[in-house]
Structure 1
Amino acid sequence: MEESALVLDDVHAGHPGTPVLSGVDLDVPPGTLTAVLGGSGCGKTTLLRTVAGFHPVEKGSIHAGGRLVAGGGVAVAPERRRVGLVSQEGALFGHLDVAANVGFGLDRRARRGDRVGEVLELVGLAGYGDRMPAELSGGQQQRVALARALAPAPALVLLDEPFVALDAGLRAEVRGQVRDALTAAGATAVLVTHDQQEALGTADLVAVLRDGRVVQCAPPRTLYDSPADIGVARFVGDAVVLPADATDGAAATLLGPVPVPSGRGPGRLLLRPEQLRLRVPDGDREATAKVADVVFHGPDATVELDLDGTGLLARVPGRSDVRPGDRVVVEVAGEGRFFPAGDDG
């Protein structure tokens, strides 16, 4: 089995009197992009800084590129960890051209060789070597920063919310370009972000960080479909959570029985808004919900519903003719995920 590119084992770190990381475990396979996803104050930046070598580890260990770089009395200096870093702003040197920026971390011999041109081609900026940073767009500057991080062929590339300063229209495009460049280089990368769509749409693995711990690390689809708890479910997407009582492969809810793969007893049922199907009632005997609001997004729309005082959220095609005030029957497509009482996260 191929050795992991990065392993954090029971890592604790923080500031005097303020613990931040409280036992982080993380295993990053080589050649993958892993996103560390979490809200403000959860420890994302501290985790990245411990891996880069800018923040000390109080307990536990970090292995990068197959060698111990922190923990057990070892603290390898940042410049000796073979870790590249791309920050939020790119942090290019304004007085140096693109080629000089990319080659900054290389020795003199490597700067005179073909490496700068190779990595600029990797990030789609071949021929830009003589440009100045001020002549580039925000997305181009971030790709130059990535080229600079890739130039020394690091064991690991750390991406510290690198797209946050870009406007929404450019963000998705640059994410795709960065992902393609990392894949072409065969690089292993860790992306720190608070953006759920960015993590789910970009990464091979997503590690959800909460209260200083990784509560789940899984491929994006697994994380969305099978979250570890209600807290993870709500953090990675819109969620419909209903009181339920599970027996024999089904959970009784106010929407009727819903199939569940496992579980027994009282608890809560998780559904995603796209699982709720809305239709016109067939007669007066069917239970209906009232449409409270419809928010149009283009290809789809979210529909807020009131079912006997319980709020629900459905996602329907954008061309749906559902309107506020309508009465609709709510049906469930597929299985729900049942969580026993108290398993909230």
Structure 2
Amino acid sequence: MKIDTRLAQIGSKSDPETGAVSYPIYQSTAFRHPRLGQSTGFDYARTKSPTRAVLEEAVAELESGDAGFACSSGMAALQTVFSLFQQGDHLIVSVDLYGGTYRLLERIMAKFGITTSYVDTNDLQQLEEAYQSNTKAVLIETPTNPLMMITDIRKVSAWARDKGLLTIVDNTLLTPYFQRPIELGADIVVHSATKYLAGHNDVLAGLIVTKGKELSEEMAMLHNAIGAVLGPQDSWLLMRGMKTLALRMERHQSNAKAICAWLAEHPLVEEVYYPALPDHPGYDVHNAQSSGNTGIFSFRVKDARLVEPFLRHLDLIAFAESLGGVESLLTYPAVQTHADIPEEIRRKLGVDDRLLRYSVGIEHPDDLIADLAQAFDRAYAEIT
């Protein structure tokens, strides 16, 4: 069955007693035991909840994993995954990293004696140089946020497996509709489901998918013990959003391609970072492991003085954090999503005061381009 169909049918046959096509929201936190020593399969909502269970089964199947876990946010999902590790362990992580993940690693996990090396995870030499006897896992973002760097998941997963390491992939930007890391050798997939999976800027959620019985059982214990689980209302909202994921991702990527082509020719734009562009350094690897492209990209303007008036003059496109919703959002990473990364590191990577990140919505591309054009014109008039 095609993934488009599986997405649209999430939960539609999960309530045979009533035949509800939209799976119900089970608000209960407690569940009656038939008698001593017996259970309906549900005891306490932190451990397992009917609505959340349908969502978790769906995402596990979509990502070709063995178990799914729905968390209260993307960061809660990462915290749960990082709880697999203990004092003295070492992680290797993609160098162009979402600022929230960097903050979690450096300000929280470091307190518990977990150390991290940041490298270009597509470079096996850098991986080898970063590897230590206490290294336990590799965490990959591909594409990365915001510079759209690509990592060969097959290559890194094979390298990690030879070393006895876990491979963890943040698949937020492509979703299982376009990329399925477990099929490429990864052990764990994480999502900020707030983004493309939910898709409407109205629910906060995170997801984990694991491969393998032992790893899945360990993650289930951590998920229950930590307790940062997703509530039934948000689980239902996330399932509802995922039903239209195929339609939305197709529109997101077609809009992004059109706008990137326009920006690449604009006289005030220096560079556009998007893996669908043939001159992108990760173009071939990306096409080999993914069936499509995300709706997010970054671009660098030629003059930092343009940024403030450009953002101020946007009309249709919202100047806001987050990404992946049906509405277009434009973000300034240096002061928003990546503010917690030290300036020296940010600038070395290219996350400087001229870089903007655009999460393209599903509006008509002509209207989005017109908004960008008028904002550029008015910003340029202000600085000249």
TM-score normalised by L of structure 1: 0.27
**Higher normalized contact order (CA 8 Å, seq sep 6+, divided by chain length):** 2
Higher share of residues assigned helix: 2
Higher share of residues assigned strand: 1
Rg bigger for which structure?
Answer: 1
TM-score normalised by L of structure 2: 0.25
